[in-house]
Amino acid sequence: MYGRKNKEKVEIIQYRNVKKYTAGKITIYRIPVESFPSHVTNVYLIINSRPFLVDTGLENEKARQDLDEGFQIIQSVFQENVRLEDVEDVVITHGHIDHFGMIGNEKFKRKNLYIHKEDSEIIRNYDERTDYALARVDSFLKTAGVSALFREGIINLYRSDKKKFKPKNLGHHIIDLRDNDKIIDGYRVYHTPGHCPGAICLEVGDFIFTGDHLLSRITPHQSPGFIMRGTGLRLYLNSLNRIFWLSLQKDLYGLPGHEEDIYPVADRVDEIKRFHEQRLRDIEKIYKEGKSIFEITVEYFNSFQPEIFSQPNYPDYNKLLAILEIAAHVEYLEEEGRLRVKP
């Protein structure tokens, strides 16, 4: 177990669903918004010399209501004189719609959007990039051993999910981020690809915003690098190691894009690394020459989460995530020369 000094510096107060963090001159509010049913995104309001947001949640009625109610609590209970309309800067941790989709709301008109250059095109050319990703996933599924009917159903689900964000021209100023950039009040950007090509962590005083790079309960989803450059388990583990050493040097308090706070950060990194190491060993054990990705996926999850493939040919989004997750691990094992899957 790693150091716990920083936790003593962070004062935490919660009222209803809004959580206030204070350390030194920095105050942060966490507002949970429901981007999808039972899928909550943490939106953060940071107040120092100028207020800014980290992530937005998805644009839908429930998420808008959650965000508005959060700001009302911040104003009435915590006595902060700040409205969403007053916030000029929004930092987006990565290019997934549950983290940036709210920018389609009129209240985000003409705001500065900070996003890593590897993900900024998803905002500039959303439909084009989505179509490209869809084609790559479809091409992969054709070789993964799934039936044509299952593949068609999965692709339709994937397309439907991506269409939940409607791009609008609201005069946003998009600022491309790079690794080690300092933004706003000198806060440092760390490029942490793996879960997403442009994933970043942001160091703000004694805190680090981890987006989906590091979560407190689940292990962030992985996709193979051959589908999308900037993803893949090897990249993700390398990025994890970077945050591990950073957290040891600075003893940072982790604020993730979903779920609860992370502290000590290095302990959670260790847990996630051990999880992936075990998953790699489990896949090696069930692998036999000639098995397809789909066959390996079904066999693996039938041992650990049998409910996912209780109806193996019925398409649902969790099955797609499971197939991509196993493919990312198989890709890593192939790179290491530990197994070979039939094409």
Q: What is the per-residue pLDDT for 308? A: 87
Nearest to 121 by CA among 155, 144, 94: 94
Residue-wise over 85-112: b if at least 16 C-beta within 10 A, else e? eebebbbbbbbbbbbbbbbbbebbeebb
pLDDT mean over 20-43: 96
Average pLDDT value for the chain: 93
What's the pLDDT score for residue 5? 56
Look at residue 161 in the predicted model and tell me its pLDDT: 81
> For residue 111, what pLDDT band results from cuts at 50, 70 and 90?
very high
Mean pLDDT calculated for residue range 301-312? 87
pLDDT tens, residue by residue, 131-152: 999 999 999 999 999 999 999 9
pLDDT at 339 (0 to 100): 79
In the predicted model, is pLDDT for residue 107 greater than 80? yes
* pLDDT at residue number 343: 53
Using pLDDT thresholds of 50, 70 and 90, give the confidence band for residue 106.
very high
Q: Kindly indicate the confidence band of residue 7, based on its pLDDT and cuts at 50, 70 and 90.
A: low
Angle subtended at Cα 310 by Cα 304 and Cα 314, rounded to the nearest 5 degrees: 130
**Does 254 score more than 60 pLDDT?**
yes
Q: What is the pLDDT of residue 158?
A: 86
Average pLDDT for 10-27 = 96
Q: What's the pLDDT at 313?
A: 78
At which residue do the structure tokens 């939106």 appear? 43
Structure tokens belonging to residue 115:
């996003």
Smallest Cα–Cα separation from 28: which of 253, 310, 324, 304? 253
Give the residue-averaged pLDDT of 251-268.
Answer: 96
Q: In whole angstroms, what separates CA 274 from the centre of its chain?
A: 20
Question: Does residue 8 or residue 81 have the better pLDDT?
Answer: 81
Q: Could you tell me which of 57, 65, 71 has the C-alpha nearest to residue 102?
A: 57
Summarize the confidence of residues 75-89 as an average pLDDT: 95
Q: Which is it for the CA torsion 69, 72, 73, 74, positive or negative? A: positive
17-45 b/e (C-beta count within 10 Å ≥ 16 → b): ebbbbebeebbbbbbbbbbbeeebbbbbb
pTM to 2 decimals?
0.94
pLDDT value at 3 more than 60: no
Q: Is the pLDDT of residue 81 over 60?
A: yes
CB-based contacts of 281: which residues, under 8 Å, 6+ apart?
none
Structure tokens at 156: 């339709």
pLDDT, residue 4, reads 53
**Buried b or exposed e, range 299-329, using 16+ CB within 10 angstroms:** bbbeeeeeebbeeeeebeeebbebbbbbbbb
Helix (H) or strand (E) holding 131: helix 126-143
pLDDT at position 32: 98
Q: Strand, coil or helix: what is 76?
A: helix
Average the pLDDT over each of 3-17, 93-107, 220-234 and give the range with the smallest value: 3-17
pLDDT band, very low/low/confident/very high, at 6 (cuts 50, 70, 90): low
Closest CA to 143 of 295, 321, 279: 295
Confidence check: pLDDT of 342 > 80: no
Please give the average per-residue pLDDT across 96-124, as a whole number: 95
